[in-house]
Amino acid sequence: MGSGHIFFEPSCHGNMLFLGNSDPVFRGPRSMMKMEDSSKRRPFFSSPEELYDEEYYDEQSPEKKRRLTPEQVHLLEKSFGTENKLEPERKTQLAKKLGLQPRQVAVWFQNRRARWKTKTLERDYDQLKSSYDSLLSDFDSMRKDNEKLKAEVVSLMEKLQGKVVGEAGVVGEKCEVLEVDAMTLQVKVKAEDRLSSGSGGSAVVDEHSPQLVDSGDSYFHTGHIEEYPIGAGGCNNIPPPMDGLPSEEDDGSDDGGGHGYFSNVFVAAEEQQHEDGEPIGWFWS
């Protein structure tokens, strides 16, 4: 087919390109090209036969911007697939093979890289957004749990306080002196209690101890919270700290290792890109 078609050749004389209005316009690599409307328009190729219609091309004015044929595009895509950068040799070969000017091949690759980059950016954005949405939803449910746990703690504290005061009154001297301060009361709740409750149970941290009083699994201690560093060392405080939760500053730990809210997001996005088999270097570098 079309390997014989040379769209711009007929009108090119060195650096001179004759436009439709017969004005010879100098066309160096960086020169201006007249884009004024010439009245004639040509429909886009609709059938393969049309593509190879010599007469059709001959009667067209050569100055119009022309779309490449599907075959040309196919070959260019194929070439782009193997390597998205174009060395001079390859450019010349491709141009010869396609009946295009090397400049056209270079331009096509340039534009193709731009399209690829745009697509990649869109895809990366989508991935990051969905990861963010999912994290946000996790965060919301954790905050709700936290509210429930706080209410539970308050209720338990009240019960305990009442019990201690009552027993001290009855037993009198048999009882050890218990100093109960509502503000500093330390409540120990067994993991079984937590697991048995519908809201995920309760666990309260010893005020003077960074680690859990109980060994049961808890948001306070396991992955969940630690992936959301809160405070100065965190990732710009997004989402905001949860009320009443001990912060990283409080418990003396830090977020060393650079874990932010989105660290896992970026990892996920990168992994995804590798799966797609497309290069990722330019975007994350």
Partner DNA sequence: TTGTGTTTTATTGCCTCC
Partner DNA sequence: GGAGGCAATAAAACACAA
Residue 40 CB, nearest approach to DNA (Å): 8
**Minimum CB–partner distance for residue 267 and DNA (Å):** 24
Instruction: Indicate whether 65 belongs to the interface with DNA (CB under 7 A).
Output: yes
The residue among 45, 38, 43, 46 whose CA lies nearest residue 22 is 38
Name the one range near DNA by CB under 7 A: 38-46, 169-177, 195-203, 214-222: 38-46
Q: Which is nearer to DNA, 121 or 182 (CB)?
A: 121
User: 10 phi and psi, to 5 degrees?
Assistant: -55, -30
Report if residue 182 touches DNA, rule: CB under 7 A. Answer: no
Q: Running DSSP on this structure, what letter comes out for residue 212?
A: B
In contact, 124 and 117? CB cutoff 8 Å = no
Alpha carbon distance 139, 240 (integer Å):
10
Binding of DNA at residue 68 (CB under 7 A)?
A: yes
Whole-number Å distance between alpha carbons of 18 and 9:
11
Q: Could you tell me the two tokens for 259?
A: 């874990």
Does position 30 bind DNA by CB under 7 A? Answer: yes
Q: How far is the CB of 16 from DNA (least distance, A)?
A: 12
Question: In this complex, which beta carbon is closest to DNA, that of residue 33 or of residue 165?
Answer: 33
User: Could you say whether residue 88 binds DNA (CB under 7 A)?
Assistant: yes
For DNA, which stretch binds (CB under 7 A), given 85-93, 123-131, 227-235, 248-256? 85-93
Residue 110: CB minimum distance to DNA, A? 5
Question: Within 10 Å of residue 75's Cβ, how many Cβ atoms?
Answer: 16
**Alpha-carbon span 276 to 122, nearest angstrom:** 14
Instruction: Determine phi and psi for 24, rounding to 5 degrees.
Output: -75, 125
Q: Restricting to residues 137-176, name those near DNA by CB under 7 A.
A: none
Looking at residues 113 to 142 of the shown chain, list those that interact with DNA (rule: CB under 7 A). 113-115, 117
Q: Indicate whether 74 belongs to the interface with DNA (CB under 7 A).
A: no
Cα 68–Cα 73–Cα 78 angle in degrees, nearest 5: 160
The residues that bridge with 143 in the sheet, in sequence order, are none
Q: Which two tokens stand for residue 280?
A: 């990722």
Residues 6+ apart with CB under 8 A from 90: 79, 83
89 binds DNA (CB under 7 A): no
90 binds DNA (CB under 7 A): no
Complex with DNA: residue 126 or 271, whichever CB lies closer: 126
Q: Binding of DNA at residue 37 (CB under 7 A)?
A: yes
Using CB under 7 A, list all residues that contact DNA: 7-8, 27, 30-33, 35-38, 41-45, 64-68, 73, 85-86, 88, 103-104, 106-111, 113-115, 117
